[in-house]
Amino acid sequence: MSEETSVGRTYKRLLSYVWPHKAAFSVAILGYIIFASASPMMAHMMGWVSETLDAPTHDNILLLVLTLLGIFLYRGIGTFLGKFFIAVVGRNVVHSLRTELFNKMTRLPSYYYDGESTGRLISRVIFDVDQVTGASTRALTTTIQEGVTVIGLLLYLIWLDWTLTLIFLALVPVIILVVGFASRFFRRYSQRIQKAMGNVTQVTNESISGYREVRTFGGREYEQKRFNKASEYNRKQSLKFGLTQAINIPLTQQIVALGLGAMLYLMFQRLSGGHMDRDEFWQFMTAASLIAKPLRSLTDINAVIQKGVAAAASIFSVLDAEAEPDTGTRTLQRVKGDVQFDDVKFRYHGAETDALKGIRLDVKAGTSVAFVGKSGSGKTTLVNLIPRFYEVTSGCIRLDGEDIREVTLDSLRDQIAIVSQQVTLFNGTIKENIAYGALADKTDEEIITAARAAHADEFIRRLPQGYDTTVGEDGVLLSGGQRQRIAIARAILKNAPVLILDEATSALDTESERHIQAAMEEVMRGRTTFVIAHRLSTIENADRIVVIDQGQIQEDGTHTDLIAQQGIYAQLHQIQFSG
């Protein structure tokens, strides 16, 4: 597919977002047509001005003034209709694209986020979407408004003197060539600007969210240089875009000026030869000079279109990305919690070797299994396969005998609660963070009961607004232990039959850990629980301890059994408790 064809298809797809708002768009077009049709009226009125100069009677002057006021009123109505209703269309297009883009991002598979920077994704939602509105609305209306103006003036010029008008029409192919040549540069620099904006957003996001680390480790100067580099690249590409635009516009104007100059010369020749009267001269001169501005606008809008098309291509690349696969057709009701790993293998997207190599494990409902091993051994990868954040490469995982690929994602994840090492809290109240998402309909009594079970109620009640206290972005106003207990309360409130605790006590001090251990014993009772912990003291009472090394199960048994084996687990235990 050629670049022009690709651009055409992208632009056509972009315009499909305007179609649902065709009523407002039609009113806007009508307004711009009214505005455009006023230009030939102004040109024709110059003939009346010439006549009035010859015979400046009271009636002639009054008629001229009233005509002038009428034309401006007529054009003003067109301006209002065009500008207001195109603003309506533009904001609706932005809203539609933003919500569709955001909704698609919530359905993208985990590996997509593994390979994309957060800054670039945010930049698409904020920067790129705004760029497309110019191409989808302003470009169209400018093309219609200025196009109708040019056509109207040309028809009027042909009516006055078609032979002179042919001189101007001969320049149109030259203008088209200049515009086409500039388009390639506009697209190229627009794509680079979008990439640069993603980098600027990424650096800003990282520096602000990690401001403590930046200051503690003396990273201020490093981050300033990193931001300056990203912003400088954006500046250079924007200047190149501006340079192309700055050359394109005056070059087009110069071509138009050549045509106007030739026409002016011939007009004076005809005027002096008696082939054109003074009224016709002023009418033709005014109409010809009025063409210059709309032509400049038409060539100028090319930059907006190319910028919008480049942004649209970036947005559509996300919208066209494969969503998280949900091949399941059966809906799970509440399960008992039997989980079987049947020769499970898994390889990350683009990796050369398997992260998991033939995992076989049968976990009975209501039992607790702790996964132990070095960092990178595959523990977290294994539990991430249960809610299908990633799809197994081969083998299968069964929940109550059902292959989890055969059930719908929503019903599968309804059976699972997760508390991870990196607790995610949202910028809302404690109550909203405990009763998050599908739990929002839980009563205050249920929320408080869950918080008590997580040993969180005691510190929540000491806060200024209690459960209505705002926690700040990512729970910044709470301590690590408090955030962890809020997350555990959320998992308790969900009351799912399968519980995953991924380093759930890693952020806790000794006192908090004591509280959480008591809460975990309660919440784990009657649930199938998978625990990942580096602190071996937290999992000694687990029903089973499974040692994973290099993606394979090396040991499986109780704490006592594994200590007696004097294998990997015993060595890890001895290292941790040797002090």
Q: Which helix (H) or strand (E) holds 344?
A: strand 339-346
Range in 142-151, 486-495, 531-540 the model is least confident about: 142-151
The arithmetic mean of pLDDT across residues 55-64, rounded, is 75
DSSP string, 243-259: HHHHHHHHHHHHHHHHH
Q: In 3-state terms, what secondary structure has residue 501?
A: strand
pTM: 0.71
pLDDT averaged over the chain? 78
Distance CA 102, CA 122 (A): 10
Q: What are the pLDDT digits (tens) for 424-454?
A: 777 788 888 888 888 888 898 988 888 888 8
Highest mean pLDDT among 110-119, 176-185, 363-372: 363-372
Pairing state between β 544-549 and 368-372: parallel
Q: pLDDT tier at 244 (50, 70, 90 boundaries)?
A: confident
Q: In whole angstroms, how large is the CA radius of gyration of the chain? A: 35
Report the share of the chain in percent with pLDDT over 70: 74
Residue 546's DSSP bridge partners are 371, 556
Q: Which helix (H) or strand (E) holds 507?
A: none
Report all structural domains of the chain as residue ranges with CATH numbers, in order of start.
3-319 (1.20.1560.10), 417-495 (3.40.50.300)
